[in-house]
Amino acid sequence: MDDSRIIKTEYSEEMQKAFIDYAMSVIIARALPDIRDGLKPVQRRVLYDMYELGIRWDRPYRKSARIVGDTMGKYHPHGDSSIYDSLVVMSQDFKKGLPLIDGHGNFGNIEGDGAAAMRYTEARLQKVTQEAFLGDLDKDVVDFVPNFDETEKEPAVLPVKIPNFLVNGSEGIAVGMTTSTPPHNLGEVIEAMKAYMQNENITTRELMRYLKGPDFPTGGIVTNMDELLEIYDSGVGKIKIRGKVEFEKTKGGKTNVVITEIPYTMIGAGISKFLSDVAALVETKKTQDVVDISNQSSKEGIRIVIELKKDADAENFVNLLYKKTRLEDTFGVNMLAICDGRPETMGLRQILKANVDFQYQVATRKYTNLLAKEMERKEIQEGLIKACNVIDLIIEILRGSKDRNMAKACLVEGKIDGIKFKSKESKIMATQLMFSEKQANAILEMRLYKLIGLEIEALINEHEETMANIYRYEDILERRDSMAQVIINELDEYKKEYGRKRRTSIENAEEAVYKEKEIEETDVCILVDRFGYIKTIDTATYERNKEAADAENRFVFYCKNTGRVCVFTDTGQLHTIKVMDIPFGKFRDKGTPLDNISNYNSEKEQVVYMTSQTELNLRQVVFVTAQSMMKLVDGGEFDVSKRTVAATKLADGDTVVSVVTLLEQRYIVLQTKDGFFLKFSLEEIPEKKKGAIGVRGMKLGPKDVVENVYYTMVLDNTTIQYKEKNIVLNDLKNGKRDTKGTKIRI
């Protein structure tokens, strides 16, 4: 390869340049709307292509696939999905304050179902799009630029006559920046624009007398009215929105909570997420007021019904929904758009200024072009009127000329060479004709029927109309007030025809406060079987079945229904469980696995001891490990709010063998795997913190470990069985801690 053709460059510099070029392409040509027409390039191209194809609001629908294919081939070579998605969104009245496309077929719904494939759906322009977005395209009011392959021309911006950036809002993710503008009410936006035109020094506060705030197609309630001024002044902030809730009484005296409007952010999968969130509140016992929930939404509107129990506090329940679900949500505002070729975050005044300036630019170009056309018509009309007055002479010139050029030269320059005249007077008059080039062409192309008296009268009337138009256009171009009035009159017409009432209410709502229902405190009994299934029963049921309960379950203890259960494991962990999270049932109910309601993992650890938090707080707790480390810990140290904490510190390879709360026990008996027994007083065990390892309780032989731990009281005849031999614990000789103990021989 010829080395002279290789361009050597620094890799980092090339990467930087390439990334900046890519970023700017995404920002300018893909993701952000233009402040003038409020449209992203793909939206602008779809609308223009439909205009070019003649798919007007008063004509038949055309297949979406036809529109998408034509747009992609001519203007937007970035794949059909982005084009069709844009077309779909511009037709959805639940996303756009002012839909720009009239869709026919399945164009999706508010619950998140997608549109049908483009080969099935049809579309055409809305009337407002035809009039306010594309109406003046034929008047050369905006610049046209080459398309991607320079085979077509496309408008750099559409001559939109309303502040579409505010009316329809916009959302987009570029590189390093995002835009998020809420939709607004058309009538309010127009009134704000008119107010700015009448006073360019108007403040944001004064503008917000006309534009109250966002107006979402889904309705809802904006709850932070006092913060809106700062948001619209800076163009950045957070709008808090809530769904609209109504209460309906049923025949049985129950109350139904009916959600009739949802936050704008809940559109799509947010509705099903809301339903699952309410179900989760019931499953996790955050609320026990719900009887049933159903989504009865239809084409008529949103209707989500939550049936509550008879004695439920409906308003408190709604506050729970505001706190724990997306029924209350935040819309992040960042009014970013392309202004003068670069991205800029703008407040309300800046947005209106950009739109008003654009309207003046479009109107100036429009009326300049119209004036030029009227001046041309005036010239021709005056030529024809003058020609009618000397029509006999002109006919004589035409009959006496050999060709068109000879006749035209006579009409324009008064040249009579070669033309035959009937009289000397005609010849003299012909030299005095001084028509313009355009007038002469019009005379030569004039048909004879134009000489009829009524036609001449119509020509004179048309000339008067032309003169009136010229006077009007010159007035509009010369006086800014006149141009402003023209723009305002058009805005008033759009407001009258396409304006609608506000859907979103704006207020200062208090923060939702949910008061948890106070539970009457009672005693319950906790049962845990040897398989790790736990359940709660009432104390009376336990008393009736005490013998069976004690025989069938590994742990049985009383607890308050508002309390906690503490689970100590062989890995030295303490797991706590709210009693309210434990299923309450009948004596013969199976219960639920500990794994399901706590952080306990039955595959990695084993339960050593369980009791109530209340019991722990009143006692001391004895810990004994397999390596014979032991300690006493004040039970109050385990009164923690975390679901899992370390209950004790363990040496490498050590495990907890026994955890017990002390009541009246006086002696502890350690039994090892090799058959050594050591009995000594509990007073020999020192009290330590839960983070300590403890002291050695017994000297162990090689590879020997503590296998069982027993506790006795004075005059206690507790008997255990060790390898088929019965041993009375109190008959064992009293020893000292940290000795080897006595080996029991069989």
* Angstrom distance (rounded) from CA 467 to CA 581: 87
Radius of gyration of the chain (CA): 44
Closest to 124 in 3D by CA, of 46, 188, 186, 192: 46
* Angstrom distance (rounded) from CA 265 to CA 402: 80
- Tokens 């040496």 sit at which residue? 651
* Angstrom distance (rounded) from CA 657 to CA 21: 67
Phi-psi map region of 213: left, alpha, beta (phi>0 left; psi -120 to 50 alpha) = left
* Angstrom distance (rounded) from CA 271 to CA 325: 10
- Max alpha carbon distance in the chain (Å)? 163
Q: Tell me, what amino acid is at 662?
A: L
3-state secondary structure of 530: coil
| Total Cβ atoms within 10 A of residue 37 | 25
Dihedral sign (CA 371, 375, 377, 378): positive
Give the chain's end-to-end CA distance (angstroms, integer): 94
Closest to 177 in 3D by CA, of 20, 44, 39, 26: 26
DSSP label at residue 508: B
- Tokens 């330590």 sit at which residue? 688
Q: Which residues contact 105 (CB under 8 A, 6 or more apart)?
A: 64, 115, 116, 120, 121, 122
Tokens of 12: 């980092």
Helix (H) or strand (E) holding 677: strand 676-681
Q: Which residues pair with 567 in a beta bridge?
A: 575, 610
Give the E-state strand segments of 512-628 in sequence order: 523-529, 533-538, 553-560, 564-569, 573-578, 592-593, 607-612, 620-625
Residues 22, 120, 471, 722: which is the catalytic one?
120
* Angstrom distance (rounded) from CA 455 to CA 446: 12
* Angstrom distance (rounded) from CA 395 to CA 427: 13
Question: Catalytic annotation on 120?
Answer: yes
Tokens of 71: 């747009």
3-state secondary structure of 34: strand
Say how far residue 425 (Cα) sits from the centre of its chain: 86
Q: What's the full length of the chain, in residues?
A: 746
**Residues forming the active site:** 120
